[in-house]
Chains A and B, each alone.
Chain A
Amino acid sequence: GAVVSQHPSWVICKSGTSVKIECRSLDFQATTMFWYRQFPKQSLMLMATSNEGSKATYEQGVEKDKFLINHASLTLSTLTVTSAHPEDSSFYICSASRTGEAAEQYFGPGTRLTVT
């Protein structure tokens, strides 16, 4: 159990367009979902934490109007990168936990975004 999927696996988009990434918990209900970003040879950086049915909590320095997060159900969270720029090119990884922030996080396979 505890499988998390992400879609798409990779995406290439043009500068100025928006891209939506989906994160699904396939066999459990995820009370909390997390969105991370990882640049090459760097650590995972938490972008935001979202609880089902409430607004996401963004980390300092992450623009909430640029990275729109929706956690509408216990099995689905989406991250939309709006007006993407080449510097948004990165590896975006979601994780989900069953019972809140203190619980073990199960990671999705990641989405590689390239903005040209």
Chain B
Amino acid sequence: RKEVEQDPGPFNVPEGATVAFNCTYSNSASQSFFWYRQDCRKEPKLLMSVYSSGNEDGRFTAQLNRASQYISLLIRDSKLSDSATYLCVVRDSNYQLIWGAGTKLIIKP
């Protein structure tokens, strides 16, 4: 079983729609959680950290469920520029970042 699992997609979504994806992690001792965005052939960029109480940044909302060991990302009013691969990342107790393989999102006009 992979340490961090994501549905690879692609998710094909019309512009303006709301889309959500989840990520599960296997290590219950994981310390911190993040969503990164990676465009094709580019480096990953931090989108947002994920806090236990849930947090929002504009159109993006992240949730953490420690009991079930999953993290979610919700994107409202999706834009064409949101098309990218979204990487779920978990920091373990050794401070190492463990990366999911990413969920590909395609926003269609």
Do A and B truly interact? yes
Residues of A within 8 A of B (CB): 41-46, 91, 93, 100-102, 104-105, 107-110, 112
A107 to B38, CA, bound (A): 11
Find out whether the CB atom of A101 lies under 8 angstroms from the CB atom of B95.
Answer: yes
The reply to whether the CB of B46 lies closer than 8 angstroms to some CB of chain A is: yes
Find out whether the CB atom of B8 lies under 8 angstroms from the CB atom of A93.
Answer: no
Find out whether the CB atom of B96 lies under 8 angstroms from the CB atom of A44.
Answer: no
Complex interface: chain B residues within 8 A of A91 (CB): 41
Q: List 7 A-B contacts (CB under 8 A).
A: A43-B100, A44-B87, A45-B99, A46-B97, A93-B43, A104-B46, A110-B42
Q: Given A104-B46, A107-B44: A41 and B8 within 8 A (CB)?
A: yes
Residue of A nearest to B101 (CB): A43
Find out whether the CB atom of A107 lies under 8 angstroms from the CB atom of B101.
Answer: no
From DSSP, what is the main secondary structure of chain B's interface residues? loop
Find out whether the CB atom of B99 lies under 8 angstroms from the CB atom of A44.
Answer: yes
Find out whether the CB atom of B8 lies under 8 angstroms from the CB atom of A109.
Answer: no
A91 to B108, CA, bound (A): 28
**Highest count of chain A CB atoms <10 Å: which of B41, B43, B44, B94:** B43
Residue of B nearest to A101 (CB): B95
Contact of A101 among B41, B43, B46, B96 (CB under 8 A): B96
Find out whether the CB atom of B97 lies under 8 angstroms from the CB atom of A41.
Answer: no
Find out whether the CB atom of A110 lies under 8 angstroms from the CB atom of B43.
Answer: yes
Residue of B nearest to A91 (CB): B41
Interchain nearest-CB distance for B102 vs A (Å): 7
The reply to whether the CB of B75 lies closer than 8 angstroms to some CB of chain A is: no
Complex interface: chain B residues within 8 A of A105 (CB): 97
A109 to B38, CA, bound (A): 11
A108 to B45, CA, bound (A): 10
The reply to whether the CB of B73 lies closer than 8 angstroms to some CB of chain A is: no
The reply to whether the CB of B4 lies closer than 8 angstroms to some CB of chain A is: yes
A107 to B44, CA, bound (A): 7
Interchain nearest-CB distance for A97 vs B (Å): 10
Interchain nearest-CB distance for B57 vs A (Å): 16
